């Protein structure tokens, strides 16, 4: 049973470590839900690339649909679902851009072709023909053949500072174990929920 006296970040870490031991691919995959300023929702899978007690970080093109929506409405939700563990974690919070130093450090850790791809792709915008992307990629590969690849100004990360973190664990007969931790001032309160 989920311990309501746990620190939600410690509990997140324990569940993530367990998922890393059992999920075949991408235990850090999470659904990111955003909404436009007028409330039209959108969801997609992104990868968690870092987390600490300040929040959960992912990286993307700042001109992508998700980033445009976050700029208009920074309230977002994250969902981790680990089928083999029969667990999920829902996080609701506010997204803010990471600072340039943090973005640079992560960008430099990416594979070379991924860094080049950040320059070649106009993420989320219409692409008339895949060949256009391939040619842009070839151009960027040649451009940076003998030089470091800087982080594009339109590429960075978002940190989601949680306002609530809900843990869900499967139980027989759909009598699941659920608990939500809500931020109150500098601390957290925990409530068990009906399944």
Among 171, 174, 178, 192, the active-site one is 174
Distance linking the first and last C-alpha atoms of the chain: 13
Largest CA distance in the chain: 61
Active site residue 53: no
* Those residues with Cβ within 8 angstroms of residue 43's Cβ, 6 or more apart along the chain or in another chain: 31, 32, 33, 34
In 3-state terms the chain splits into helix, strand, coil percentages (rounded to 5) of 30, 35, 30
Give catalytic residue positions. 174
């Amino acid at each position: 049973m989920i311990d309501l006296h746990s620190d939600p970040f410690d509990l997140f870490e324990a569940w993530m470590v367990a998922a890393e031991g059992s999920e075949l691919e991408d235990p850090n995959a999470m659904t990111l839900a955003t909404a436009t300023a007028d409330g039209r929702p959108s969801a997609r899978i992104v990868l968690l690339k870092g987390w600490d007690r300040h929040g959960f970080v992912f990286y993307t093109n700042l001109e992508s649909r998700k980033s445009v929506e976050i700029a208009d409405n920074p309230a977002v939700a994250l969902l981790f679902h680990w089928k083999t563990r029969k667990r999920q974690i829902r996080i609701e919070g506010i997204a803010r851009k990471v600072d340039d130093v943090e973005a640079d450090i992560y960008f430099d850790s990416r594979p070379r072709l991924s860094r080049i791809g950040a320059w070649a792709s106009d993420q989320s915008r219409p692409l008339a023909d895949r060949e256009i992307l391939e040619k842009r990629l070839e151009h960027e590969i040649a451009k940076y053949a003998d030089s470091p690849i800087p982080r594009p100004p339109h590429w960075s990360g978002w940190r989601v500072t949680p306002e609530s973190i809900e843990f869900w664990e499967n139980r027989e007969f759909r009598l699941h174990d659920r608990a939500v931790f809500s931020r109150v001032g500098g601390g957290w309160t925990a409530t068990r929920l009906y399944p």
